[in-house]
Amino acid sequence: MSNLLEITPELRHRRRKSTAFRYVCMSVTWMSVVLLVLLLAHVTKAGIDWLDWQFLTSFPSRFPEKAGLKSALLGSTWLIGLTAAFSIPIGVAAAIYLEEYAQKNRLNEFIEVNVTNLAGVPSIVYGILGLAIFVRGMGLGRSLLAGALTMSLLILPVIILASREAIRAVPNSIRQAAFALGATRWQTTRHHVLPAALPGILTGVILAMSRAIGETAPMVMIGAAAYVAFMPESPMSDFTTLPIQIYNWAKRPKEEFQQLAAAGIIVLLVALLLMNATAIVIRNMSQKKGA
Amino acid sequence: MQAQASELHRDRQREWREKSVRRTLFVCALLSILTTIGIIVVLFSEAGKFFADVSIFDFLLGTQWTPLFQPKSFGVLPLVCGTFLIVAGSSIIAMPLGLASAIYLSEFASSRFRRSLKPILEILAGIPTIVYGYFALTFVTPILAYVFPSIAVYNAASASIVVAIMVLPMIVSLCDDALRAVPNSLREGAYALGATSFEVSTRVSVPAALSGVIASFVLAFSRAIGETMAVSLAAGNSPNLTINPLESIQTMTSYIVQVSLGDTPTGTVEYYTIFAVGALLFLITLVSNVVANRVLRRFREVYE
């Protein structure tokens, strides 16, 4: 009788294969970490020497040593401010409707599917839409306002999806308790569901805004100018943004401009990092409170 | 009597407020449908103007794309080919790597490792595409040039590699979700029959999660089609009908960027090309997104 517990060569082979597989998967996973480190190291090495106060406070220039990010920083700030003002109220309202009010019918189901699919539309298509509707159709020109409206349409689906997740995570018992005390749907939503969902909504909104900061293609489409050597003063001003400035520098063959692009990227990444850190802090705080 | 009347009045007021709130919220939700309608109307009506001048067959089947100089030719195939070269290149890299990472995360890794890796993936996913374009141009291309000296400065290979890095986090996290939705009892059953972890992963977990895995691939594919800045920085602007990744190409998206950066006058055929190309781009990504989301939705229903 053969021993059932005997380790046959075949079994040894299978086990070895399994171990090898595990190591392959593990090293592939670690690769993401390595890639991130490589990317950050590469950018920092190229750009850190250019990063100084003068770089942050000068207008773009033909001469690399005089060039700076001033108009791009201001443009991005304006753009994000306006975009937030348009997209956050509408996005959160749409999410409230879909989670708290919508009955299950064809129209509402269509809205849901539609939002999911809109989130997957390439950003450049939004740029084409903005160019045709806001820049030309409504005659807003290549202004901050046209840019912010375009950007709002682009990130609305992101805000809606994130806010819905947050609202859905509020336990039903809270709603039922409010209803039982005679509150209307809006009172329940306004005073009980929204406060409970707020940290989640905030996290989603911040992530959506950090996506908006980095978006380049739609702003190129609506014609955010390459060279802006003045401060944007009103929503109707011409503008440029951080990523567009980076793109313009990166396109140039001269090495100094490449390094300027890297310095711009450092500024962009630091801004993103701050926003993401805020989101993570909010998330952790709310988790602690919940537990 | 008086008190009752005022209560009635308050009730009415309340009802009115409820209704107007509901209506306002509904209008906000409706805006998403308006956006879709806007995209479709704009793209297809303006593309219609293009097709008044150029036959749709010449557009879809032509092999020369030279709309910006004489002799003009409007065959979109070089752009489609360029786009799919990038998509194929990035898929070949990102799909196996993404699936392998997801398998590691869901089948082998400790929950502590998972928790620390997820934010790193989120950061990778959140890095703007323009940064990846810079990375491709100044880091990946020089390395490739060292290995293949014949490579063009702008080439499809380096763009494919960074697009792969870009879609990797999405594949990992969607595949991870799909794998974790597979009930543990299936795995335990296989282990009880003496299967090794390799066999459990490849013959039980992955097949059970296949629909989610495929959906993640399709979504990655559609992201890669729509990817713009990295490609237009790194892959060049020469519409070549080639499958050689070492050559410079142009994708649909980078063509649109090229036109909008130039000074093409409004109302010319050249101007309307961006809508024709945009419409094609929108159709391809829409179909793949609808398919992927439907698959994702179905597989969620099965396990919940």
Give the pLDDT confidence score for residue A2 in this predicted structure.
55
Q: Does A46 touch chain B (CB under 8 A)?
A: yes
With a CB cutoff of 8 Å and minimum separation 6, the contacts of B203 are B190, B195
Chain A residues touching B122 at Cβ < 8 A:
276
Q: Which of residues 178-217 of A touch B (CB under 8 A)?
A: 184-186, 207, 210-211, 213-217
Judged against a pLDDT cut of 80, whether residue A22 lies above it is answered with yes
Judged against a pLDDT cut of 50, whether residue A291 lies above it is answered with no
Q: Does B134 touch chain A (CB under 8 A)?
A: yes
What single letter denotes the amino acid at residue A252?
R
Give the number of beta-carbon pairs within 8 Å between A and B.
250
- Measured distance between the N- and C-terminal CA atoms of chain B, rounded to whole angstroms: 55
Supply the angle between the helices B269-303 and A106-119 in degrees, to the nearest 10: 120
Chain B residues touching A221 at Cβ < 8 A:
256-257, 260
Helix/strand/coil for B65: strand
Judged against a pLDDT cut of 70, whether residue B228 lies above it is answered with yes
Give the pLDDT confidence score for residue A6 in this predicted structure.
76
- Spatial distance between the Cα atoms of B102 and B96, rounded to a whole number of angstroms: 10
- Spatial distance between the Cα atoms of B121 and B172, rounded to a whole number of angstroms: 8
Task: Please state, as a whole number, how many other Cβ atoms lie within 10 Å of the Cβ of residue B104.
Answer: 26
pLDDT band at residue A289 using 50, 70 and 90 as cut-offs: low
Give the pLDDT confidence score for residue B302 in this predicted structure.
57
* Average confidence (pLDDT) over A149-173: 93
Chain B residues touching A106 at Cβ < 8 A:
none
Paired tokens of A91:
């996005």
Q: Which of residues 248-287 of A touch B (CB under 8 A)?
A: 250-251, 258, 261-262, 265, 268-269, 272, 276, 280
Give the pLDDT confidence score for residue A121 in this predicted structure.
92
- Please name every residue paired with A238 in a beta bridge, in sequence order, or none if there are none: A143
Cβ contact A118–B36 (<8 Å): yes
pLDDT band at residue A166 using 50, 70 and 90 as cut-offs: very high
Helix/strand/coil for A40: helix
Judged against a pLDDT cut of 70, whether residue A181 lies above it is answered with yes
Paired tokens of B106:
């869901």
Which is it for the CA torsion B87, B93, B96, B98, positive or negative? negative
pLDDT band at residue B300 using 50, 70 and 90 as cut-offs: low
Q: What percent of chain B has pLDDT over 90?
A: 51
Weakest mean pLDDT among B35-39, B72-76, B163-167, B169-173: B72-76
Give the pLDDT confidence score for residue B13 in this predicted structure.
86
CB A26 within 8 A of CB B108: yes
Chain B residues touching A276 at Cβ < 8 A:
122-123, 126
Weakest mean pLDDT among A59-73, B41-55, B151-165, B202-216: A59-73
Give the pLDDT confidence score for residue B263 in this predicted structure.
74
Cβ contact B42–A132 (<8 Å): yes
Q: Does A4 touch chain B (CB under 8 A)?
A: no
Cβ contact B226–A186 (<8 Å): no
* Average confidence (pLDDT) over A118-124: 91
Nearest to B141 by CA among B130, B156, B131, B128: B156
Q: Give A53→chain B minimum CA distance, Å.
A: 22
CB B239 within 8 A of CB B249: yes
- Please tell me which of the candidates A46, A153, A276 has its beta carbon nearest to residue B35: A153
Chain A residues touching B202 at Cβ < 8 A:
21
Cβ contact A25–B31 (<8 Å): no
What single letter denotes the amino acid at residue B123?
I
Weakest mean pLDDT among A220-234, A248-262, B103-117: A220-234
- Please tell me which of the candidates B105, B266, B285 has its beta carbon nearest to residue A29: B105
With a CB cutoff of 8 Å and minimum separation 6, the contacts of B44 are B279
Place of tokens 């050559």: B247
Q: How many CA atoms lie within 13 A of B234 on its CB side?
A: 32
Give the pLDDT confidence score for residue B4 in this predicted structure.
75
Judged against a pLDDT cut of 60, whether residue B199 lies above it is answered with yes
* Average confidence (pLDDT) over A152-176: 93
Segment A232-243, tens digit of pLDDT:
777 878 888 899
CB B109 within 8 A of CB B243: no
* Average confidence (pLDDT) over B58-84: 85
- Spatial distance between the Cα atoms of A66 and A54, rounded to a whole number of angstroms: 8
Q: Does B12 touch chain A (CB under 8 A)?
A: no
Judged against a pLDDT cut of 90, whether residue B23 lies above it is answered with yes
Which is it for the CA torsion A272, B215, A200, A36, positive or negative? negative
| ipTM of the complex model | 0.89
- Outline where chain B has alpha helix (H): 2-53, 56-61, 77-103, 111-126, 129-135, 141-147, 156-180, 184-192, 197-200, 206-208, 210-226, 229-234, 252-261, 269-303
Nearest to A259 by CA among A88, A10, A90, A67: A67
Q: Does B122 touch chain A (CB under 8 A)?
A: yes
- Please tell me which of the candidates B17, B42, B139 has its beta carbon nearest to residue A133: B42
Paired tokens of A176:
């039922």
Helix/strand/coil for B29: helix
Weakest mean pLDDT among A4-18, B82-96, B128-142, B219-233: A4-18
Segment B232-249, tens digit of pLDDT:
888 888 888 888 888 888
Q: Does B185 touch chain A (CB under 8 A)?
A: no
- Please tell me which of the candidates A89, A97, A261 has its beta carbon nearest to residue B26: A97
Find which of A7, A27, A28, A30 to mutate to test the B interface (most B CBs within 10 Å of its CB). A28
pLDDT band at residue B304 using 50, 70 and 90 as cut-offs: very low
Q: Does A40 touch chain B (CB under 8 A)?
A: no
Cβ contact A221–B120 (<8 Å): no
Chain B residues touching A91 at Cβ < 8 A:
28
Q: Which of residues 94-153 of A touch B (CB under 8 A)?
A: 94, 96-98, 101-102, 110-111, 113-118, 120-129, 131-133, 136, 153
Q: What is the DSSP string of A247-271?
A: HHHHHS-SHHHHHHHHHHHHHHHHH
Which is it for the CA torsion A136, A139, A141, A145, positive or negative? negative
Q: Does A230 touch chain B (CB under 8 A)?
A: no
Segment B243-267, tens digit of pLDDT:
888 888 899 999 999 888 877 777 7
| Higher pLDDT among residues A53 and A160, named by residue | A160
Segment A54-82, tens digit of pLDDT:
888 877 777 777 777 888 888 899 999 99
Helix/strand/coil for A238: strand
Judged against a pLDDT cut of 90, whether residue A24 lies above it is answered with yes
**pTM score:** 0.89
Task: Please state, as a whole number, how many other Cβ atoms lie within 10 Å of the Cβ of residue A37.
Answer: 11
Give the pLDDT confidence score for residue A34 in this predicted structure.
93
- Spatial distance between the Cα atoms of B211 and B174, rounded to a whole number of angstroms: 11
Cβ contact A276–B126 (<8 Å): yes
State the burial class of residue B172 (Cβ atoms within 10 Å of its Cβ: 0-12, 13-18, 19+). buried
Task: Please state, as a whole number, how many other Cβ atoms lie within 10 Å of the Cβ of residue A30.
Answer: 14
Q: Does B101 touch chain A (CB under 8 A)?
A: yes
Cβ contact A217–B127 (<8 Å): no
Judged against a pLDDT cut of 80, whether residue A224 lies above it is answered with no
Place of tokens 């066999």: B199
| Higher pLDDT among residues B122 and B225, named by residue | B225
Cβ contact B108–A25 (<8 Å): yes
Mean pLDDT taken over chain B: 88
Give the pLDDT confidence score for residue A197 in this predicted structure.
92
Could you say which DSSP state residue A223 is in? T
- Measured distance between the N- and C-terminal CA atoms of chain A, rounded to whole angstroms: 58
Nearest to B25 by CA among A222, A102, A8: A102
